[in-house]
Structure 1
Amino acid sequence: MVAHLQRTVGNAAVTNWVQCQEDPGAREEARRHATDPTMHGEWGTFRDMMAQAGFPNDVTDDAWQLILSGIAEQGQLNDEAMAKYPDRQEQRDHRASNSWYQELVNLIGEYLDIDTPTLALWSGGRQVSDYALAKGHTPLESTPFGGVVDKLTLTSDWMLKTPMWNVLSKAFVNHTRGPVHIFLRAYNPDSVLIAQEVPQLRVVMALNPAVQLIWHPVYTAADGKLMEITKSLELTSDTSYPTRDECVQVLYDYLRLKHDPANAHSQRAHTEMSTHLAANGNPQ
């Protein structure tokens, strides 16, 4: 695998990888897996799923090494982000500066293309991603590479792999060539969606007028079915808004005024909304 990696990213990257293994601050399990990637318990699953998705063997080998090396390095970057940067966005940017994850994107970028006419972004739980896919849009988790990685655990420490998804998501939105549908079941201004993906889309929009954002406020009804919210605060199968502010206003109004406390499916969204309103001086 190191030989494949050397051909892909060069001698400097391999040297960095070796040095990373000598870093006493690296998480021990991640260090072991990066040193011997085939010993990771999910290697066989990853290899088989990549083959089924049509990836060449050398891409599979390189991608696995880059993922595990990225996980091994991420702990140190997370510690540095908290120690050096008081600003939340600066912390996120430093965590996402993982060179292994950047090289992963360079390697598999073409496998983040979408088969449907429209790309989907979402916030509020994985069920929203499934909902967007069922509506005919493609979220990151349904791309060839995203679909493989999404099915793996990789590490028990979520903070070691979250930056990988952040890097992948930024690359993913660069693939859009038309409308982007954004589905919100919960609104968090500090989420990857709002703090990273949408700003990157604004950059793409400045270069390509065909790219536009279409916002969908989503609520989970008492029967567990996801529905969208109209301006009159009714639930329907499909509605959309041209701006984030309109979408969030409708979502918050519905959660404030019409949410049933007995509906456990939407309790988390209601709680998050209440917390954000209270933090902004607007307690319920």
Structure 2
Amino acid sequence: MPHPAVLADLQRTVGNAAVTRWVRCQGDPDAREEARRHAADPTVHGEWGTFRDMMAQAGFPDDVTDSAWQLVLGGIAEQGQLNDEAMAKYADRQEQRDHRASNSWYQDLVKLIGDYLKIDTPTLALWSGGRQVSDYALAKGHTPLESTPFGGVVDKLTLTSDWMLKTPMWNVLSKAFVDHARGPVHIFLRAYNPDSVLVAQEIPQLRVVMALNPAVRLIWHPVYTVADGRLMEVTKSLELTSDTSYPTRDECVQVLYDYLRLIHDPANAQSERAHEEMSAHLAANGNPQ
């Protein structure tokens, strides 16, 4: 159970309803205890051998591999407390996210492997709407975080059964990843969520990079999944094509929402979630369908 003082702090800050939601969101206490054991002895983690082998195949020196593994597991062990503090101290979602991402182990991990987040392709890719979109971006010749040398390794691991302990690691890695942008950045949207890491963290960090390097610009792609599972892009005339893009987020989101509102086939289960999310966002903004 969470410490009573933490619950009391949270209740004073945001009320009983927030306490109820927070308790429901807490990770498995067994996962936290397991994380502490693994941090104390990293080699007993069941994926240590797999991590070591994949890191060797990716060209990482042994000392970097050993240090990275310790930092990953140490970060997972520390994250539970940071998650508790974020909910107890802050009502604002971005402040909560920032506090969760302040994990010193994950910050040191980025310092250690930062150069291994560089891309080999000319363009960096960001995405939202499910892992299939990442694979689509890669097939188009762009590099998402999951296809960098280090991102590709940790993407294949479970690490912990409690996703709330490892998600902040990905958020820290993604912020470091966009710092490597040196030219156009292609952004693929199958769903638009203003509270997503993409919109709330990656894009603002890219704005900082763009201010320092005019060669960095954002290219937006609205993506729709057809019934047979293929991903297609939406034109201004609301037709599907293999490639189209927009210079601004607003144009991209408008086209995507128009297609989901007006053209989407309710029988197409492949895009049902994107349609539901779009409908929920419109309703939340006072524009029910």
TM-score, with structure 1 as normaliser: 0.91
CA distance in 2: counterparts of 1:230 and 1:161, whole angstroms: 37
Structure 2 CA distance for aligned equivalents of residues 278 and 39 of structure 1: 49
CA RMSD in angstroms, aligned pairs only: 1.1
Query: Per-residue displacement from partner, 1:139-187 (whole Å, max 9, x unpaired)?
Result: 0000000000000000000010000000000000000100000000000
**What residue ranges of structure 1 are gaps of 5+ in the alignment?**
1-23
Looking at structure 1, the residues matched to 287 and 47 of structure 2 have their Cα atoms a distance apart, in angstroms, of 47
CA offsets 1:38-95 (integer angstroms, 9 cap, x no match): 0000000000000000000000000000000000000000000000000000000000
Q: Distance in 2 between matches of 1:86 and 1:222?
A: 40
In structure 2, runs of 5+ residues without a counterpart are 1-28
Question: 3-state DSSP class of the match of 1:260?
Answer: coil
Is 1:206 paired with 2:211? Answer: yes
What amino acid does structure 1 have at the position aligned with 2:229? G
Cα distance in 2 between the residues matched to 1:49 and 1:63: 13
Secondary structure of 2:141's partner?
coil
SS of structure 2 residue aligned to 1:27: helix
Q: Secondary structure at the match of 2:221?
A: strand
The counterpart of 1:250, out of the listed 255, 262, 275, is 255
Residue in 2 that maps onto 1:155: 160
Matched residue of 1:120: which SS? strand
1:87-236 aligned at under 5 Å gives the runs: 87-236=92-241
- Displacement, 1:27? 1.7
| AA of the residue aligned to 1:60 | T
Structure 1 runs of 4+ off > 2 angstroms? none
TM-score under structure 2 length normalisation: 0.89
User: Which amino acid in 1 is paired with 2:175?
Assistant: K
The 8 Å contact of residues 26 and 75 in structure 1, kept in 2 or not, is answered as no
| Residues matched between the structures, number | 261
AA matched with 1:255: L
Contact 2:124 2:143 in 1 (8 A): yes
CA distance in 2 between partners of 1:267 and 1:236 (Å): 20
Using the aligned pairs only, state the percent identity. 90
Match of 1:10 in 2: none
Q: What is the Cα deviation at residue 26 of structure 1?
A: 9.2
